[in-house]
Amino acid sequence: MRHNALRDGHRIRLIEGGQAYFESLVMALEQAHSQVLLETYIFDFHGAALIVAEALERAALRGVRVWLVVDGVGTGQLPVEWQDRFDRAGLEWRVYSPLGALGLLIPSRWRRLHRKLCVVDGRTAFCGGINILDDWYDPHHGRLTRPRLDFAVSVQGDLVQHIQEAMTQLWWRLQVGEKVRMRQIPQAIHFFRTAGMSLPWQRATLESEGLSGPSRAGLLLRDNLLHRARIERAYLKAIGSARHEVVIANAYFLPGRRLRQALVHAAQRGVRVRLLLQGRYEYFMQYHAARPVYGSLLDAGVEIFEYDASFLHAKVAVVDPDNERPWATVGSSNLDPLSLLLAREANVVVADRAFVQRLHQRLSQVIQTQSTPVVMDVHSQRRWHQRLRDRIAFGLMRLALFLTGYRY
């Protein structure tokens, strides 16, 4: 069965914010008895995020098999203290695509592990945009006055096995790649042949087959092999079939031509389209490169709001929450070329009216109370140096895409 096919029988719970996410993760980790798999772009060992590290350590110490993968850019090497603690506990950890001496000067190293996934005992999975990072802290900006806005979901049902399979495949690829780099070819062949065999989580997965729930859900993966455009196509299909309303909250927003046209066409046929985007300066490229696309969207009737209460990190969307075909997605994928063309991403799609309405209600509340509308007259009259920075950032992004060989 294709992972992106929607299936009934899931229990999906919306989680907002790192604190609630960490508490849910820790609760599941404390009950783990067989296997834990965790992937994250950022694993920061400060503040509230520490409770996740400590829970992983405790699980490994009591005999649970724990696999942890962090990204080589988002996290880099783990702190030495935690390397030692994890090693002593028996926790197995890997760094995805370490940068090496030349770092990001090599375009192939722009392909990052950006998905945030966890599976516990083959029974419960987590997927979303939330890193293992304290909501009130930013590595580049320090202490925040308000927590960042982000979402995740917890999942029970058949989808858990699909998430688990994807994570296990990546783990074994990392194992094989490591042996090849060390020129341990026989060991690499052994890992390749035995990947996924006799793992303790297989029995736990079978126990979850009796679960039933009201939600229809599917998994969307994006990688550079078999699933290059799956997340983008899902957005295009949902926007293209929208009849009444589209709400998208996205931290780093620079949609390609097809996505922009889909949003424009939806607005032109009478669909209310609202975008909740980053309103506070975080990174030069992501902040400034988005603004040159505002004009054509505003001209078509798309409503744009900038979230300015804190940093926006959400990657969620809602389509037609009050109608016969409600649709929502929660995940790690931004609508920008880094996510849609280069990174490994994971989103869960939910077609359950109660869930979609709950997410829609929360996004509408944020738009009304914690964001500023972008007005065409004000946007078009920005100071020349602001427009110059926007154009420079937009040009640099296009140059980066040219270097990778992609068109967007």
Q: Which residues are catalytic?
A: 114, 116, 121, 313, 315, 320
Beta strands in 320-360 (DSSP E): 327-331, 345-350
What pairing do the DSSP bridges indicate for beta strands 124-128 and 151-156?
A: antiparallel
Query: DSSP class of residue 106?
Result: S
Longest dimension (CA), the chain: 66
107: amino acid identity, one letter? P
Pairing of strands 245-250, 315-319: antiparallel
Which residue in 97, 78, 74 sits closest to 86, CA to CA?
78
Which tokens is 401 given?
């895409």
User: Quick one: tokens of 43?
Assistant: 């694993």
- As a whole number of angstroms, the distance between CA 26 and CA 32 comes to 10
Q: CB-based contacts of 312: which residues, under 8 Å, 6+ apart?
A: 148, 149, 249, 251, 276, 277, 278, 279, 280
Whether 197 and 168 have beta carbons less than 8 Å apart is answered as: no
- Of the candidates 92, 87, 85, 166, the residue with the CA atom closest to the CA atom of residue 125: 166
Q: Which two tokens stand for residue 78?
A: 């783990």
CA dihedral 240, 244, 247, 252 (to 10 degrees): 30
Closest CA to 139 of 131, 128, 151: 131
Number of H helices, E strands in the chain: 14, 17
